[in-house]
Structures are given as structure tokens and as C-alpha cells.
A and B are shown apart, each in its own frame.
Chain A
């Protein structure tokens, strides 16, 4: 029988939740890396036992961890305990947490500043990895979305990282600015139909696409309207919170923006709003059903000033029409006195026949629906504040 493994990143460590295909009885492992912020964990699609994790701390900076046994044991890539501390040619190891922005002339346009909170130009400063996206074809290749916003890639299992500098260098970088959570590259989507196409999103810059494997990029924000920037329809500057697609239909993108739920039917070239009858179109997460490309999920949040669910009711909203018409999913979720948030990377779907939907809250609950959202139950109630949720469907 198939199994699922839910990878949960929290403010104080990582947890791994495992169950068989019924998704009723759960085994909880953790905390892994207790006391550290785990912004994201994600497994390789081609080797599910290979899991990458972003471990970070305001004190000690960024650490990349890797497991090759499904999360039982972890090492920093390139520095397993007990092995030599230098390479055969004498180079020091310990490069797996080294994220250095590319300023070489060879990559074209070294870019050193972006817009800061006070309107001045500010140099790029690496802070942390928000999102790790393993390659669809090679377990040793993985992308990292970082703050301050940039995209890095490792092709040696996370031992070393190199920036895809064309993203920062394409020209609009000086207009990017940090959102309240920092200037983070939080979404990376690899097109299964075209290995050279990648979508990314940045708060607060917008969405971008490359069609040549990361060498050149273009903003894909036409149709977005953001009243909180001087030109609401500017080319960049939009606070995109998350973007999702169905792997079978990678030209159809769904976006939860700061305000507004948006849809594109041409790989981001144009967007239109599909917020419809949502009680609030502010939110962070958005995801797509594993088997129904037109069924999407959001978790509305009251407002940008009040980051909790509206009316004290925890409701996931589902649209079976690709947007505009939404139904609340409430069975099993608290419907009074609930004031949690669901952060941008904290929702995921499994690939079992009856699609499972998962999300984590800032109150430390991780909820599971094994029937596409019709009913919910909490796997765990009292974890630290949840930053991210991913799920692996295992044979």
C-alpha cells in the first residue's frame, strides 16, 4: 500500500509525519534540528529518500542539510562526520552553506543594489534560503530561492551553490524591494514539459520566467494590480505570495498575491483575477489538486494588517472551476475563536487516488484531508509555528 511522508518546517525545528495510504494513524518524528528555524524541506521526485532542508538561525546563519534515507539521518552535504575535512586537492570543505552572489563580469550585468525600505538603493545581502526545489530528473541538482532575492543552483547534491545571475541582472532589480517578511525568492516551479523553463516569484518584485534554463529572465506580471505601489500596474514591484500549477498543464498558473487571487492561461504572459466570492482575497498559500487541474485551494486571511483567518473561522476554500466560484471547506476545522495564519509554503497535496490536502498553521497545527478537502483532521496540534509543509507520496 502507498504511504505518505509529510515534511514540516517550523520556527523551532523540523518534523516528519508518516502514515499509510489511509492517512489515519500517524507516526511523528522530530524535532530534527531542534531550536533552529526550518524554512523548507523538500524531497527529490526521482529519489524520495533524498531530502533537502534549509536550516537557519538569526545567530549562526544558513545551514543546508541533506538526508539520503528519508529523513532518518542528516548531514551537511560535503561534511559527513568522520571524513576528511579537506578535499584531495587540499580545498576546505564546508561550502554547503556558502551562498555568494555572482558579481562577475562574465555573467553580464553584475547588480549590487535594490530599493530599500527608505527608498534608497541598498546592496544585496544574503540572509537565508526560503525554498528548495529539487530537480525533476537529477537528485543531485537542486535550486534554492534566497533572501535577498536570488536564485541559486547546486549540481553536486548541495555541496556547493552558484547563482543564476541572469535573474538579478536582467534590469529591473533596482526596483525590487523587501516586503514585510524580507525580499525573498519563495517560489520555484520547474516545468515538467520544458526543462529550460522555470518560474519564480519574489516578494516584493513579482513573478519571473526563464525559457533558456536560467540564463535570461523576464517579468511576467501583466494584469496584476497592486494599489500599494505608485503605479498599480507596474512591470515589477508586486507582492506575489505564492504561485502553483498542475504538472500536466504548466501554462496555467494560479497566484495568491498580497491581495487578489489570479490566474494565467499563457505561462504568466497575462493574468486575470479569479477571487470571485472569497470572503477575503488576501492570503498566502495556493495549491492545485493532484488529479484535477482545475481544482484549486486557498486559505483566505483577513487582511494585510490582520494576519489571521476571517471571523475566527479556519476555512480552506476550494474552486473546482479554476477560480471565481469558491466553496468553504470547514468540516473538522475550528469555526470559532481561531486566529492562526497559514504561510506561503505551508500547503501541499499528495498523489494518492483520493487526493490528500495538507496545511500547517502558525498555531502549530498540521491538518490533513484525505478526501480532497471535504473533511479535515489535525495530525498534530501543538508544534511550533509552521513555516512550510511538503508531502511525499511513496510506493
Chain B
């Protein structure tokens, strides 16, 4: 199971309190994790990545194991610690504005 931590606004939308765990088919990548997340919580469709282009929304970032994976390929493998569930994938609302 992949652990995912969402920002507070998305937790409120999805009616969840803390982190969530999703089962991923095949290799664990940003795409496969987000596919599983959106399948489990369809109200999150369009909020993390664009409905059509599937691109990450500009002010959303993906952190894992103290590294920023936001600009990695969505099909690149996630770190082993994410795959084993030792570390969560963090979906972060970037600091922006004033």
C-alpha cells in the first residue's frame, strides 16, 4: 500500500481525516498513485492534475523522502521507501502569493 498525505483543503473535499493508503497496480509512479487515488476519491479528479492534459497543477508539488519529485516524469518509479510504505508521498499546496 502506498501512503499519501494530502493538503488540508483536499482532505476536506475527500472527507478524510489523516493520510490515506492506496493499492497500486504495477510499478509505483506518480501516475499510478494518482490514478489509484482518484479512483478511490473521485471528488479529487482535476484538483491535483488537469482533467485532460493530466499535467500537475502549477501550485501543487510532490515531495517524497525529503526530495522534490514534482518535475520528474509522471511515469518514473517512486523511491523504494514509498513503495514499501515506510515513507508517504506528500501532495503539497505550494507556498505562493503574499
Contact = CB atoms under 8 A, between A and B. Distances in A.
Nearest to B42: A94
B97 A94 contact: no
Contact of B40 (A58, A59, A85): A85
A81 B15 contact: yes
Given A35-B9, A81-B15, A98-B51, A60 B42 contact: no
Contact of A79 (B42, B48, B59, B60): B42
Contact of B46 (A58, A62, A78, A81): A62
B45 A95 contact: yes
A63 B42 contact: no
Given A85-B39, A92-B38, A61 B52 contact: no
Interface of chain B, helix or strand or loop or mixed?
Answer: loop
Contact of A97 (B39, B40, B47, B97): B47
B46 A98 contact: yes
Interface string B27-67: 00000000000111111111110111000010110000000
Contacts of A86: 39, 42
B23 to A, nearest CB: 14
Given A35-B9, A76-B13, A92-B38, A60 B47 contact: yes
B60 A60 contact: yes
Contacts of A381: none
B47 to A, nearest CB: 4
How many residues of B sit at the interface, in one of the four size bands? Answer: 20 to 34
A60 B57 contact: yes
Nearest to B47: A60
A358 B40 CA distance: 42
Contact of B42 (A35, A59, A85, A100): A85
Interface of A: 35-36, 57-63, 76, 78-79, 81, 85-86, 92-95, 97-98, 100
Given A36-B9, A63-B43, A95-B45, 15 more contacts: A59-B7, A59-B94, A60-B9, A60-B13, A60-B47, A60-B57, A60-B60, A61-B47, A76-B43, A79-B42, A85-B40, A86-B42, A94-B42, A98-B46, A100-B52
21 contacts: A35-B9, A36-B9, A59-B9, A59-B57, A59-B93, A60-B48, A61-B50, A62-B46, A63-B43, A79-B43, A85-B39, A86-B39, A92-B38, A92-B42, A93-B42, A94-B42, A94-B45, A95-B45, A97-B51, A98-B45, A98-B51
